[in-house]
Amino acid sequence: MKRLVSALIGAAIGLCATAPAGAQSYPSRNVTIVVPFAAGSGSDTAARVLGQHLAARLKQNFIIENRAGATGAIATAAVAKAAPDGYTLLLGTNSTHGSNSALYKKLAYDPIKDFAPIAHTGVFSYFLVLDPKLPIKSVADLIAAAKAKPGEISYAGGSSTSIVMAESFAKGAGISFLKVPYRSNPPALTDVIGGRINMMFCDMSSAIGSVNSGSLRAIAVTTKNRSTLAPDLPTIAETAVKDFDLASWTGLFAPAGTPNEIVERLNTEVNAILALPDVKERFAPLGIEAQPVSAAEFTRYVQSEVVKWAALVKEAGIEPE
């Protein structure tokens, strides 16, 4: 009997020793959320709100690390290669997991195969903003100016979303712009404010303060319906390009192979955070709409977005780099 008990104890110890990391208590140390854009961007704002609440709920630090460059591709590729243990996460977007696959001939990661989607964290509305010193007060004025000087009006491309929006708008309106690429939206916005670049499509969370202060002029929103943040601003669809309806989104991702129990735990926590009144209140003035769904639903959504944004890139006539 003693031998049988000892054998059973030994077998149990062996099973514990080989248990997957995800089955152990998570998190047991600091977690890093990599944001593939600069501080001050809409995705950065969403990540910091989530990180703050995740830290409080899970009793571990959630560190936000900004790695801007190549419309998010550099940081995303790095996270794809990280250990699949739940301690390195990505605040991905429709740039990293949508249009980048069509914008680059060679992408150092696969947006579907290399990631485990965790949670859909929000949808971002966009402004079309201008240097207020320009004598352009409306979408009609902008189109007229672009037709008068083809390819001379410059736009800042701080993300693949802003680039796709600008080129889709230009094609729909029968005009052309001069693209000036940037590593992320915040420095691009700085140059529009400073008058070095004429215009850009920018998420409301990054631009709203400058629009309200008058250092930027917003002339339209990019969604099908007018925004409650700026109800007097027309949509592009109602002024120039029929059916123009574009917004961006963010979501939390882990490297592929991350234990499902960690993915589900984080999905539950993030969805609970998105339902908090103070989070909704903080998101609303920035034009961020929370959209909690299951990890499985978010996975299907990401798969459809890769197809959707690739089609938009092609329709806009953007050549991959």
pLDDT at residue 64 is higher than 60? yes
How confident is residue 179, by pLDDT bands cut at 50, 70 and 90?
Answer: very high
Helix (H) or strand (E) holding 260: helix 260-274
Give the pLDDT score at 125: 87
3 state DSSP class of 279: helix
Band (21; pLDDT cuts 50, 70, 90):
very low
* pLDDT at residue 18 tops 90: no
Q: What is the mean pLDDT of residues 283-293?
A: 88
d(CA 308, CA 313): 9
Q: Calculate mean pLDDT across residues 84-91.
A: 98
Q: Is 216 found in the same domain as 138?
A: yes
Contact between 42 and 248 under an 8 Å Cβ cutoff? The reply is: yes
Are 111 and 167 found together in one domain? no
In a domain, 321, yes or no: no
Quote the CA–CA distance of 20 and 193 in Å, as a whole number. Answer: 51
pLDDT at residue 20 above 80?
Answer: no
Q: Is 138 left (phi over 0), alpha (psi -120 to 50) or beta?
A: beta
pLDDT > 60? residue 220: yes
Binning pLDDT at 50, 70 and 90, where does residue 230 land? confident
In a domain, residue 306? The reply is yes
Q: What angle do CA 302, 300, 62 make, to 5 degrees?
A: 55
198 and 184 fall within a common domain: yes
Task: For residue 223, give the amino acid letter.
Answer: T
Report the CATH number at residue 177: 3.40.190.10
Q: Which residue has the higher pLDDT, 3 or 48?
A: 48
Please tell me whether residues 87 and 120 are part of one structural domain. Answer: yes
> Same structural domain for residues 151 and 48?
no
Is 10's pLDDT higher than 50? no
Q: Are residues 51 and 147 in the same domain?
A: no
- Mean pLDDT for 114-131 is 95
- Interval 186-206: pLDDT, tens: 899 999 999 999 999 998 988
Average pLDDT, the chain: 90
Contact 206, 125 (CB under 8 A): no
Please say if the pLDDT value at position 169 is more than 60.
Answer: yes
Q: Where are the alpha helices (DSSP H) in 107-259?
A: 139-148, 160-173, 185-193, 204-213, 236-239
* Residue where a domain stops, chosen among 208, 239, 270: 239
The domain in which residue 73 lies consists of 30-124+248-315
Q: Which of 239, 260, 280 is the last residue of a domain?
A: 239
Instruction: For residues 39-63, give the mean pLDDT.
Output: 94
% of the chain residues with pLDDT over 70: 93
pLDDT, residue 11, reads: 45
Q: How far apart are CA 242 and CA 245, in angstroms?
A: 9
Do 295 and 196 fall into the same domain? no
Number of residues that make up the chain: 321
Q: Is 202:41 a contact under the CB 8 Å cutoff? A: no
**8 or 161, which is more confident?**
161
- Asked which of 6-20, 67-81, 151-165 is least confident by mean pLDDT, the reply is 6-20
Residues linked to residue 154 through DSSP beta bridges, in sequence order? 178
State whether 183 and 285 are in the same domain. no
Say whether pLDDT at 284 is over 90: no
At 24 the pLDDT is: 58
Domains held by the chain: number:
2
Report the DSSP beta bridge partners of residue 34: 65, 90
Task: Tell whether 235 and 134 lie within a shared domain.
Answer: yes
pLDDT at 216 over 70: yes
